[in-house]
Amino acid sequence: MLSKPASKYRPFANVDLPDRQWPSRTITQPPRWCSVDLRDGNQSLIDPMDGERKRRFFDLLIKSGFKEIEVAFPSASQTDFDFVRSLIEGNLIPEDVAIQVLTQSREELIRRTIESLAGAHRAIVHLYNATSEVFRRLVFNQDKAGTIALAVSGTKLIKELTDQHPETIWTYQYSPETFSFTEPEFAVEICEAVMDVWQPTPERPIILNLPATVEVSTPNVHADQIEWFCRHLTRRNCAIISLHPHNDRGTGIAAAELGLLAGADRVEGCLFGNGERTGNVDIVTMALNMYTQGVDPGLDFSDMRRVVGTVEHCNQIAVHPRHPYAGELVFTAFSGSHQDAIKKGFAARQKQNDAIWEVPYLPIDPADIGCSYEAVIRVNSQSGKGGVAWVLEQDQGLRLPRRFQIAFSRIVQEIADRTKRETTTAVIVEAFRQTYGLDGSGRFSLVDYSVSGVDKTGAPRTFTGRVEVDGQTRSITGQGNGPLSSFVDALNKNFGLHLDIVNYDEHAIGTGSGTQAAAYVECVLPDGKSVFGVGIDVDSGEASMHAVLSAANNAAGDMGVAK
């Protein structure tokens, strides 16, 4: 018989909320953020952080603008306890930052937790116990009353102990752990019981943290759960509703965003989504998502590479190269049509000169998080002319005319196909220099020359010069209306070429005393084929002569030039 794994699972029951309000709301302000990297993130690591790594992470969180940071589970280990002490005794916590610590509802653990906080200016004591039916039955062997009693007894003890230390500004946080699969009525009931003990006020609210300890439903169900909870809690104005989504179904961010629409005030999560199993909600992504909607998240990730480096060091886990906003490849397009659109977007941006960001395929300006535009386009066999042209412009300041781009991109495409790997900037530049003789590899080189001046009769101008071809110097002359046409005439006559210039372009490279000129020519041959040439020189006249010679070198390869 075929096994049917799907029959092992039950669908998640929806919340009864037909008049839900959240779908028609938008996020217009950031939540209160709380980083739980040093606790929930830390407890998921193969090797939990030592004091040095915790300290580096803590400093990063402060720099990034977090005002609430869960720093430890002090009763878990001496390392965690000592870390809390080191922050307090070392006076390392800014006045406006509250450190948060987690504890189970067990007397000895609570006492140790409060002990760790002695002397803190501001502290959030966070108590949890699991409330869902399956945990009550399988893990705690407890009924609902017993589960409430555990939360209430822990809250009473914390109240008693914190009341003995009025020098600290205390906030109390309670988490009905496994909220995401707790009966909504019971979640409200247990939180009300905890509030009855703590007696929060609008001025001194309690934090009710509603964790998706395991993500078990679609994000809309999570939003319904949060809205239902907010609407049924009797003293809503005395509570900060906090979210703590995990990412088991890969929709932690969506759940958190919809949870905010549903009325939550606060979000707990980790940078880059570290955490148990598939992680906590990723605060970096959530914050930058807000950015892209014109909402200032109130967190600073403007030096993203430094943030990534520190987090990788502390967690000893690499941030994925495709991680939203932060991955090293997220601003890089390899494919031709993406490159084309990005290039056009940047060109339009230079002209439009306003503050609105509108570059196709780039939801955020890389500069906003400290990234340059250099890596926005990289070239491989999936790339097109726009990508190759971008690389040459960024690296060499060259702005190839459209038909020139098409011709050169075929050469790059051939390299990419042959090597079957990324064609780096260095390889593209080298291929360009070689193809157009900028490296001196062409058969022809111009030794010296002069062109007769214009006279009043309009007589043709005469090119007289010496050209080295295959190691031998030859004197040549030719006539034309200008320097270029007379040079072309001389080359055609003396070497059996049949060049006809059909396009000419030039532009400056750089500014000031280092300015150079780049000149591009396209010539057609008798068979209708085009050959291209480029010349670069401080003098624009010289640049154009070199461009013609470059085209001649390419034509010579094609035509079997007479010696």
Ligand X SMILES: CC(C)C(=O)C(=O)O
Residues that bind ligand ACO (CB under 6 A): 40, 43, 73, 75-76, 104-106, 109, 128-129, 139-140, 150, 177, 213
Shortest spacing between CB 106 and ligand X, in angstroms:
14
Is 323 flagged in the annotation as binding? no
**Beta-bridge mates of residue 473:** 468
Q: What is the DSSP string of 191-229?
A: HHHHHHHH---SSSPEEEEEEESS--S-HHHHHHHHHHH
Please, what is the minimum distance in Å from the beta carbon of residue 26 to ligand X? 27
In the stretch 242-261, what mask flags binding to ligand X with x, by CB under 6 A? Answer: --x-x---------------
The pair phi, psi for residue 335, each rounded to 5°, is -90, 145
Q: Choose between 140 and 504: whose C-beta lies nearer to ligand ACO.
A: 140
Measuring CA to CA, which residue among 3, 87, 2 is closest to residue 38? 87
Per CB under 6 A, the list member of 213, 247, 274, 409 interacting with ligand X is 213
What residues contact residue 484 under an 8 Å CB cut-off, 6+ apart?
501, 504, 521, 544, 545, 548
Report what 244 binds from ligand ACO, ligand X, none; CB cut-off 5-8 Å by kind: ligand X
Q: Tell me which residue of 45, 43, 46 sits closest to 71, measured CA to CA.
A: 43
**Distance in Å, CB of 223 to ligand X, minimum:** 18
For residue 39, the 8-state DSSP code is: I
Q: Is 186 in the site for ligand X (CB under 6 A)?
A: no
40 assigned ligand-binding residue: yes
How near is the Cβ of 212 to ligand X at its closest, in Å? 8
d(CA 63, CA 300): 8
Binding of ligand X by 266 (CB under 6 A): no
Calculate Rg over the CA atoms of the chain: 35
String of contacts with ligand X for each residue 336-375, x by CB under 6 A: ----------------------------------------
User: For residues 105 and 544, which CB has a smaller minimum distance to ligand ACO in the complex?
Assistant: 105
Per-residue CA distances from 511 to 174, 412, 527 (Å): 63, 29, 40
Helix, strand, or coil (residue 491):
helix
Which of the choices ligand X, ligand ACO, none does residue 104 contact, using the CB cut-off of 5 to 8 A by kind? ligand ACO
323 binds, among ligand ACO, ligand X, none (CB under 5 to 8 A by kind): none
Identify the residue whose tokens are 């609008």. 202
209 binds, among ligand X, ligand ACO, none (CB under 5 to 8 A by kind): ligand X
Q: Which residues, 6+ apart, have CB-to-CB distance to 517 below 8 Å? A: 506, 507, 508, 509, 536, 537, 538, 539, 540, 543
Q: Which residue is nearest to ligand ACO (CB)?
A: 76
Query: What are the phi and psi torsion angles at 119 (to 5°)?
Result: 90, 0
Whole-number Å distance between alpha carbons of 304 and 288: 11
Nearer Cβ to ligand ACO, position 129 or 380?
129
- Record the tokens describing residue 340, joined without a space: 């084309």
How big is the site for ligand X, counted in residues (CB under 6 A)? 10
313 is in an annotated binding site: no
The verdict on whether residue 280 carries a ligand-binding annotation is yes
- Rounded CA-CA distance 531/551 in Å is 6
User: Phi/psi at 45 (nearest 5 deg)?
Assistant: -80, 150
Taking the least distance from each CB to ligand ACO, the nearer of 128 and 331 is 128
Give the Å distances, CA to CA, from 16 to 12, 236, 325, 485.
Answer: 13, 20, 36, 83
Nearest one of 373, 384, 377 to 416, comparing CA atoms:
384
Strands (E), 360-436: none
CB of 87 to ligand X, least distance (A): 20
Looking at the Cβ atoms of 207 and 561, the one nearer to ligand ACO is: 207
Q: Which stretch binds ligand X (CB under 6 A): 72-80, 183-191, 206-214, 314-322?
A: 206-214
CB of 425 within 8 A of CB of 433? Answer: no
CB 232 → ligand ACO: shortest distance, Å? 24
How far apart are alpha carbons 74 and 42 in whole angstroms? 12
What, of ligand X, ligand ACO, none, does residue 175 touch, CB below 5 to 8 Å by kind? ligand X
**175 binds ligand X per the rule CB under 6 A:** yes
Identify the residue among 37, 68, 80, 177 touching ligand X (CB under 6 A): 177
CA 308/CA 303 separation, integer angstroms: 9
75 binds, among ligand X, ligand ACO, none (CB under 5 to 8 A by kind): ligand ACO
Of residues 10 through 49, those in contact with ligand X by CB under 6 A are 40
407 binds, among ligand ACO, ligand X, none (CB under 5 to 8 A by kind): none
Annotated binding site for Mg(2+): 40, 244, 246, 280
Residue numbers in the known binding site are 40, 244, 246, 280
List interacting residues with ligand X (CB under 6 A): 40, 102, 128, 175, 177, 209, 211, 213, 244, 246
